[in-house]
Amino acid sequence: MLGRLLLSRGYHSTKGVFGNRPKPRSRYEGISAAVLEKRNANSNVYRWVEAYRTHGHRIATIDPVKFYPAEEQSFTQLPELQYARYGLTAADRIDPTGLINVPQQQTRTMAELDQLLARMYCGTCSIELGFIESEEEREWLAARYEQLFQQAPAPSERREIAELMLKSQAFDQFLAVKFPTVKRYGGEGAESMMAFYWELFRCAGEADLTNLVIGMPHRGKLNVLTTLFGTRPAKIFKKFKGYPEFPADAQAMCDIASHFHTSTDVTVGGKTFHLNMLHNPSHLEAVNPVSMGKARAKQLAHADGPYAVQQGADGYHRSRVLNVQVHGDAAFPGQGINQECLMMANVPHFEVEGTIHLIVNNQVGFTTPAERGRSTRYVSDLAKAIMAPVVHVNADDPEALAGVTKIAVEYRQKFGKDFFIDLNCFRRWGHNELDDPTMTNPLLYKVIHARKSIPDVYAEKLIEAGLFDRADVDAIPRNYLTAELQAYEQYEPERTYFDKQWSGLRQPSDEVTVWNTGVDYRLLSHIGRESVKLPEGFKIHIDARLKRLAEGQRIDWATAEALAIGSLMYQGCNVRLSGEDVGRGTFSQRHAMLVDQQTNEIFIPLNAMAAAAGPNTGRFELANSILSEEAVLGFEYGMAIDNPNNLILWEAQFGDFFNGAQIIIDTFLVSGETKWMMCNGLVMLLPHGYDGAASEHSSCRMERFLQMTDSRETSPDGDTVNLQVVNPSTPAQYFHALRRQMIRNFRKPLVVVAPKTLLRLSDCVSPHGDFAPGTHFQPVLGDPEAGARIDPKRVRRVVLCSGKHYYTLQAERKTRQVSDVALVRLESLCPFPVQAVRDELAKYPNAREYVWSQEEHRNMGAWTFVQPRFENMCERRIQYRGRPEAATVAVGVSQWHLKEAEEVIKTTLY
């Protein structure tokens, strides 16, 4: 029972939650009595057949280069595959019914069966089945795989495959002549991938899929974009000539051609589906979780897959959105993000109901030979962690690749699980066309350079079969490439952004805009009550939220968050919050996903509210994630770039955990818009604050995010900054920051320097008036005591600070009755609020000292960001008060921490 529960990957709740559709029970009835009887009667033969299915791949001829050490070349058979080992002889005649899936069930000799099994499992493709626990899946896979060898493609299909491969080769040869100094990462040696995409498209039409979302690195990307995906070669050529890929009015720095994407409709066999090939960075494999998130967002948009409403036992339909990932052979086992992605494959709120993986196995990574690039037999061995089927294919056999691709799609549609194809090919040149691989792999490349190209080998095979002739090869169109090169100057870059679901949004102007994000408190009060409303008999701990709402004067952080999310749901926005333990919150503050203490049932009150409000109300998806940052954040970025009407939030368990996702932050989040015109409104919540807990978990390293912004030091920022960073000090400010993400007519990623101790600090509350219509996020909060206890004319020092640190300073100022120091809070760090700061400084005409105070060390925090902007644009010198420079975030001795904290306060106020 426990094993079945673990494999189901469902909730312990029997009712399910939004974004997690319960899976129906398998209808598999087991192996029939007749087949079992046949297998038992021929048990030795069946053991021998199973040995082929388990071990045949070890001696399969899947390598098109045939570069083996001498001792391996002579090792042509395995003892497990010798039928004599099972007491059988060559003369034994066997009826293969129930033992092997062959169409003619006539008696055959063991020698004939040996030849048949060797062709199936030791030829140019071979499947691995032994590690798959499910008998149903093993039986189905064996049947479909063995049937593959009785289904030869039609002559017309073989010609289509040949033509696509020859076109790919012609494209690479054309670029080699016309752009000899450009790195193009061509498909030479891997042209068989054309057969993969060709069959994938046919299967997508047959399966009535609506969307294909593909993540693919550089290798052969330009070939498939131009040959199969409808991208004009003129666009590529114009880029190679040194021109931008976007119209002149786009605020973009652009990227290299091998990072291009496409979003287009494809029609095959009268069926049309939408194809998204995503932008990829040079960090190999980083695009994979992004493609999963994008696919998941498509499922959300279409109420498909995990978001579909199940109609009874027979109403379960596999998702019509398919995720496809293409990997490199060195990168797939070498990059940890792939393990993270596989660990998400069957987890609620992250599953996409099966991904099809193609590993383009060059057998060398950059210059690293395969045997030094991993510790496993195959590049695909990570797949065994989730018991995903793996088929190894020789690139010289594109027909087998097409057949296996068909099986992959059928398997995904039937079982909703991942499938791997290991395409063993080679790289005609080095890491790129300008790299000489013979320096590090001379013998390997001696073999590669001596052999014919994969398209030529396949074309000759068809010529020998009478299906092709030399005229067909010569007729492969090449002139269109010349015409496209001549037309590149007239080619006008397409405006592919702010279209379809992004219509109505834009890139912002170079000014900071203010958006009314307030909401009538009667609605907020209703949302607040609904956020803690429970079904009858549902047992949880008592929540104080209702009391706070009734008072209306002490709205805390968690309540403000619930109000922001609930109000956006009422406006039709879907909200997704993911991260480790986000349902309750790392600090047990959120309690948005409630668990009955007696029955273990799960209940999300805001979704009950949404269901009662009607179909136009958004839904709240709480995605408790695996212990991952990089893949999970990439997944959430993928969801955020798909639809601007979904608010996507990712919360780090502690702020410093973001650094596990640094690749996603650098290559996608902060640079995706300027590189690719790909906007997103992803919100990162990073708990931050020095509380004596030593280095880890004290700081979210806000200095790194500020350094990654394109904020200007000498002129005011506008909404055009690539990344917005806020350190809100009140619940209302947090409320407005979240709502502003969706209310504005543009999308920018937002980093929230989130609190820890403020979650329960009695002074960190907001009155209902701060949420009212007409209110908004304020980039600067002035001193609330100015004009009361603090006389602005007597203020000698103005202290600027941010976030939690304000409350520490304010408590000390009140205790010591300091009356000549004003405290001004910078709630927005980027964009830097120049005018708002100036307005606050003008209130203190006699001030002579200006101080930036922070609890972080001098080489950390916001100091190095604030100082030049304040001095250049506010025209005043500003002094530093805080901890001195340090190599680590915080000391690990509590007494030292307290002494440092006292010193920061003392030097700031006195």
On the question of pLDDT at 646 being above 50, the answer is yes
The region of weakest confidence among 69-83, 755-769, 883-897 is: 69-83
What was the pLDDT predicted at 496? 86
Average pLDDT over residues 58-75: 71
On the question of pLDDT at 76 being above 70, the answer is no
On the question of pLDDT at 4 being above 50, the answer is no
What was the pLDDT predicted at 551? 79
Q: CA angle 134-108-142, nearest 5°?
A: 15
What was the pLDDT predicted at 536? 82
Three-class SS of residue 694?
Answer: coil
Average pLDDT over residues 890-907: 95
What was the pLDDT predicted at 2? 41
Residues 776 and 749: beta-carbon distance below 8 Å: no
What was the pLDDT predicted at 73? 45
- Structural domains in the chain? 35-149 (no CATH), 155-244+261-493 (3.40.50.970), 521-777 (3.40.50.12470), 781-909 (3.40.50.11610)
Q: What is the pLDDT of the chain when averaged over all its residues?
A: 93
CA dihedral (93, 99, 105, 106) in degrees, to 10, reads 0
Helices 834-841 and 863-874 pack at an angle, to 10 degrees, of: 70
What was the pLDDT predicted at 10? 67
What was the pLDDT predicted at 69? 54
On the question of pLDDT at 75 being above 80, the answer is no
- Distance (Å) of CA 315 to CA 22, 289, 305: 12, 29, 12
Average pLDDT over residues 293-319: 84
pTM above 0.75, yes or no: yes
- Confidence band of 309 (pLDDT split at 50, 70, 90): confident
Task: Kindly tell me the sign of the dihedral angle through the C-alpha atoms of 376, 379, 381, 385.
Answer: positive
- How many helices and strands, by DSSP H and E, does the chain display? 31, 26
Average pLDDT over residues 178-201: 96
Average pLDDT over residues 40-54: 97
Residue with tokens 């700031």: 908
Average pLDDT over residues 130-159: 95
Share of the chain above pLDDT 70, in %: 96
- Confidence band of 68 (pLDDT split at 50, 70, 90): low
Rounded distance, CA 581 to CA 222, Å? Answer: 41
Three-class SS of residue 318?
Answer: coil
Rounded distance, CA 260 to CA 281, Å? Answer: 9
- Confidence band of 840 (pLDDT split at 50, 70, 90): very high
On the question of pLDDT at 47 being above 60, the answer is yes
The region of weakest confidence among 167-181, 514-528, 529-543, 673-687 is: 529-543
Share of the chain above pLDDT 90, in %: 84
